[in-house]
Amino acid sequence: MTKSPRVSIGLPVYNGEDLVAAEIESLLAQTYTDFELIVCDNASTDRTGGICREFAARDPRVRYLRNDANVGLVRNYNLTLELARGEFFKWCAHDDVHLPKYLEKCVPPLERDPEVVLSYSRALVVGDNNVVLRKLTYPLDTSLDRLRLPEERFRDILWFNIGSPAIFGITRTNVLRKTPGLGGSHAGDQVLLAELALLGKFYEVPEDLMLLGEHSNRSVYANPSRHALAAWLVPSRHGKIIFPAWSTMLDYDSAIRRSPLNAMQRLKCRKHLARWAVYHGGELLQDLTKGSVQFVTSPFRGSRAPA
């Protein structure tokens, strides 16, 4: 492909041989065709690589890259963003499926209104044999007048703990690159949505245009605790003392600091964050308690590095 596509789609995948083909097929069947699909294979050990290479050989819009080693979910997600060439960008999960008009319906809101930074559709959560389990809608359409101010949008996102389907929406690539991308905390998707809300409005297309897969192999089930999930997202953390709730709170504060807000807006955002901290006080205290136990029992406590 020589001409830059309008939309870049990032598809990070690891050992997705059972589901990745259905997702890629759904993307290549989109009625809106001006896109590239960047598949980043995180050193899969199953047939994922062969499946993705076959799609890349058949369709020039598919770019397949394979990491030499597993770099963790966060790094692999952000790698697809680094490689994007399009004006707009979206992430996909290998175990989801997009209906044919997803791009057709979600791109125009970004084209119509320069203040919109994220456009996404509603979604259906499906189990085995695509049985619909529930519907998902992100309860924050910030095109509404009541959420016209960034501190109001930030406030609401703090209390709506729903990453999907909004995190898989379409963003402006240049706006997303003003952020660190997907963060390494267990709530990295939520923090990223909060920072995007400080940078502009969201728009929810009132149609169910995504199927979100619900299965026992999902990362949140394989890593049921906040500590386990944080370590899984960034493999270099394994064996280290982790403070998931504190990391999330500091990431929210960093988002406030990076955003183009005036002094009063920053103050209001930090007041909202202070209320969030009070509400999550138990988790913050639990982090300190667990971290202290880890430190006391660590075999490396008090050791010195070699001269």
Same-domain status, 180 and 43: no
Show which of 79, 94, 109 is a domain's final residue.
94
Among 138, 131, 128, 133, smallest CA distance to 217 is for 128
Give me the pLDDT at residue 302, please.
35
The upper half-sphere exposure of residue 256, i.e. CA atoms within 13 Å in the direction of its Cβ, equals 25
Same-domain status, 135 and 150: yes
Q: Is the dihedral of CA 222, 228, 231, 234 positive or negative?
A: positive
In a domain, 29, yes or no: yes
Overall domain count for the chain: 2
- Classified as helix, coil or strand, 198 is helix
In a domain, 278, yes or no: yes
Letter for the amino acid at 306?
P
Same-domain status, 88 and 100: no
Q: How far apart are CA 71 and CA 233, in angstroms?
A: 9
Residue 169 neighbours by CB distance under 10 Å: 28
What is the token pair recorded at 269? 């955002």
Same-domain status, 90 and 102: no
Same-domain status, 172 and 206: yes
> 168, 120 in Cβ contact below 8 A?
yes
Q: Which domain holds residue 12?
A: 1-94
What is the pTM (predicted TM-score) of this model?
0.88
In a domain, 305, yes or no: no
What is the token pair recorded at 191? 């923090």
In a domain, 64, yes or no: yes
CATH number at residue 7: 3.90.550.10
Kindly list the averaged pLDDT for each block of 10 residues, start to end, along the chain of length 307.
88 96 98 98 97 98 97 95 98 95 97 94 88 83 62 89 84 97 88 95 93 72 63 66 88 96 97 97 90 48 32
Same-domain status, 7 and 132: no
Give me the pLDDT at residue 140, please.
65
Report the first-to-last Cα separation within the chain, whole angstroms: 53
Give me the pLDDT at residue 165, please.
87
Show which of 69, 94, 119 is a domain's final residue.
94
